[in-house]
Structure 1
C-alpha cells in the first residue's frame, strides 16, 4: 500500500449535524440507530460522539467533543514548523543551503530543545527520521533541500549586481 493514500471521499460529518442528532437522542430518548438513519450518518460515529458528549456533560464541561479523524501524530506545532521553514529559506537565501541530513539533525535538536514528543529512533541516530523529512517536504513544497553546491564568489557578486541594477 502506498504511503499517501488518495481518499475517495472526505467521509466527514459536520459537527452541527452530530450535535443535533445527539440532542434528539438525549431529549427524545430515541435510539442511536434510528436517529442515525434519519440524519443519514453512520450509527457508530453518532454513538461515539454521543458517548463522549455525555461523558463531558457529566464532568461539568459544556464544550463539544472532537468528532471524526484526527491528524497524524506530529512532532512540531504549526508555529514551530513555520519558524523552521523560514530558517531553512533564510539559510538558502544566504547561499548556505542545508543538506537533508543537516535538516534532519536540526529537527532533532529543535525537538529536544522544545521538549516535543518524538520517536525513540531519533535519539539513537541523533537526527529525525526519513519519514518525518519526507512529510516535512510534502507539507512545504516550496523548500528545495538537496546537497548544496558551492557558489563561486564571482557568481554571487554577479547575481547581487544584477539584482541591484534591476536586470532580473
Structure 2
C-alpha cells in the first residue's frame, strides 16, 4: 500500500503573482526584502534571488539597446559648415594670422554653442576635444599643423596689396627704362649676402 506524502515544510507554498508583486516592490524601492516578503507572504531568500535575477536581466537588455543605438558617431557640423570653417582657417593663414589647435578648439566650441548644435565638447574649458580636431584634420587634408616661423611686425605689416602693387610697378618701370630682356633677368635671394653689415670690410 502506497503512503500519501505529506509536506513537512511550506517551501514553494506561495503564489507566482504575489512573488511578482514583491519583486516589483523591491526593485522600485517601495519596500525592503523583509517587508515585501512579509506583505506578500513569500519567502525572503527566494525573493532576494528573484530580484537579483530580474536586475541582471534588466542590465543585459539595457546594455544591448545602448550598443544598437550608438552606431557611428554623428558629425557635429554639416559638410558645408566644415568647408566654411576650413576656408576661414586658410584665409586667416594668408593674412599671417594662423590659428593654433587651441584656437581651433575654442572656435569649434563657440560655433556649436551659437548654432545650437548638440556636441560632446568640454563645457568647462569651452573647447572641442583632441579627437574632434584630429578627425577634422583628417577630413580636410589641405590643412596641416606647422611650426610658426618668426616674422617681424614691420615685415608683416608691410606685406599688403598696396605695397606689393607698388613694387611690381617700380619693377616694370626698370624693365622698360633699361630695355631688359628675359635673358638679362636673374632671380636670387639674400642668402649669403649681408644687407645690414655690422663691421666694415678690411679691404
Q: What TM-score, normalized to structure 2?
A: 0.41
Larger relative contact order (CA 8 Å, sep ≥ 6) = 1
TM-score, normalised with respect to structure 1: 0.48
